[in-house]
Homo-oligomer: A and B are copies of this chain.
């Protein structure tokens, strides 16, 4: 099911700046019953990301209603929301009065093996690095060629995710996930001030850690630091949390510390 500006269609204007320049942002989220999970957080992030690009964010009530209509009809569990700066004449200059395009796409839940949650995932170290662009770091914008190139590096279905490094060789996260390490009872997650996408689930984990008195630091994660960690896991809104089972020659025991993280995500789901 696809809605574009509130209308059921499978097309967008060929002159949309989302296509021309990747001039827009997106969100991917899961339905929980008939409600989008963590909707308030997702909408807030959409607003923040739109603000970085100077795109007027569509009102919450409109998007919320469109998501509801699209999922009520389709019964789909995954919703992708794209907001672009809308159509415009040729040229990089943004229109002064942009009329943003709202695209709601629904689809079935991804069919990852249930073992990914329990036994963890095998992870690949991508060669494609993330460039440093402080102006866009953290934002889930539509310029995602680095992620595409990284994801194209492996074709082995046994590998669930690829990790990406920044220019200095520090691990930023997965192609579609954020990374956490477990180190002597504390959490560590890479800072996302120069590249990477700061996902909603990452925030949920950080806040839950604070609430439960567990230290969570944002610190650079070298490959060596990752490999020496007591455990590591990947999060996003679709998969929840996947413990890393193996990466770069290191194997970890079954989901160390994961029970706690999973409880936090379950709690947050109620919010």
Contact = CB atoms under 8 A, between A and B. Distances in A.
A193 to B, nearest CB: 13
A131 B128 contact: no
A77 to B, nearest CB: 12
Interface string A102-146: 010101001000000000000000001101110110000111111
A143 B131 CA distance: 13
Number of copies of this chain that the complex holds: 2
A167 interface: yes
A4 B14 contact: yes
Interface in A154-186: 167, 175-176
Tier of interface size on chain A = 35 or more
22 contacts: A2-B14, A11-B11, A11-B12, A12-B19, A15-B105, A17-B148, A19-B142, A20-B26, A20-B82, A21-B145, A22-B144, A28-B90, A54-B152, A80-B90, A91-B151, A94-B151, A94-B152, A129-B135, A131-B131, A136-B146, A136-B149, A143-B143
B145 A136 contact: yes
A144 B145 contact: no
A143 B13 contact: no
Contacts of A93: 151-152
Contacts of A16: 19
A78 interface: yes
A99 interface: no
Contacts of A143: 21-22, 143-145
Could you say which of A14, A23, A143, A167 has the most chain B C-beta atoms within 10 Å of its C-beta? Answer: A14
Contacts of A229: none
